Amino acid sequence: MSIIKCQQLSKSYNGKSVLNNINIELNAGAPIALVGPNGAGKTTLFSMLCGYIKPSSGTIQILDLPIGSTKLQGKLSALPQDAQLDPDCTIISQLILFAQLQGIKGKAAKVEAMRVLELVDLVNVAKSKPKSLSHGMGKRVAIAQALIGSPQLVLLDEPTAGLDPANAKKIRQIVKQQSDKTTFMISSHNLDELEKLCDQVLYLENGELKQSVSMQSNQDTEFLTIVMKKADPSSVHQALLGLAYVIAVKQSGDDQFIIEYPRQPNFSLEQQLLSLLAQHNWQYKTLLKGRTLEDTLFSY
């Protein structure tokens, strides 16, 4: 069963295309990233997945059900970027109301409200009002609201925008902890953030799906990324190409190199690389396994 399936999906306003012929089929599991520049169509796609607006053409299915199906109640949840709770009503009273709207009745609604507050580590603010919370805590309460009823798919729009590093880390931890039973689709401009969370990445530009890639998609090759200290780039590039089994070396800027090599048992390129650096008396700033999401998307 696919969790999201779009076929020939398009949307236009007054003859201007906003989304054009989007075809995707995504399975449940690890978080999915939706990225692209401003105006790429990300918010429009989210709005159509939620059923807020209708496509001009094409079809959408969530969990093999058409948008608008009553069977989707409680299975799909969304958190817009600027979503806010009523500042003057207690958090617990609002979460109980949202639980009741999901069809959870009686005392079970309060139990569910407390459950989701526990998921985001905010049980202690249940009787507080949202206006008394920090921005980061307010964002976590909003995510708690999105988790009411244990939906199978949650859409998050810029969940860490404007957060300090500590609260952004807490949001990532919440997503990771819940990903074993809930699939998250996350729209964000923060590629560093997304590569810590997501495997599948959708890249929209000018209303078109330019790439759909997995950070683990190629099982035949691996990557090493190295950032050098004060070394001649052309000399480093040529030396890296001379290492055994290296398929390609991509230079990003003056000091970063991405090395592609075949995946094979009992082989460590790192050992060869460190020997090469010692031989030339070169130093490096960073050495990491794999490559960044930015390099994955824009390497062609």
| CA proximity to 78, closest of 43, 40, 113, 130 | 43
Residue 218 or 190, more confident: 190
Residue 218 or 206, more confident: 206
Nearest-5° Cα angle at 18, 194 to 42:
15
pLDDT of residue 118: 95
CATH superfamily of 2-214: P-loop containing nucleotide triphosphate hydrolases (3.40.50.300)
Counting Cα atoms < 13 Å in the Cβ hemisphere of 124 gives: 3
Counting Cα atoms < 13 Å in the Cβ hemisphere of 43 gives: 8
Please compute the mean of the pLDDT values over residues 108-112 and round it to a whole number.
97
Q: How many CB atoms lie within 10 A of CB 203?
A: 20
Burial (Cβ within 10 Å: 0-12, 13-18, ≥19) of residue 129 = middle
Within its chain, how far is the Cα of 156 from the centroid? Answer: 8
Does the pLDDT of residue 2 top 80, yes or no? yes
Sequence ranges of the chain with CATH classification 3.40.50.300: 2-214
221-297, which class in CATH? alpha beta
Sequence ranges of the chain with CATH classification 3.30.70.100: 221-297
Q: What is the mean pLDDT of the chain?
A: 88
Does the pLDDT of residue 292 top 70, yes or no? no
| pLDDT over 90 percentage in the chain | 55
pLDDT in tens, 245-254: 898 888 877 7
Please tell me the distance from the alpha carbon of residue 144 to that of residue 157, in angstroms, as a whole number.
14
The model carries a pTM of: 0.75
Tokens of 272: 């060869």
Confidence grade of residue 300 (pLDDT, cut at 50, 70, 90): very low
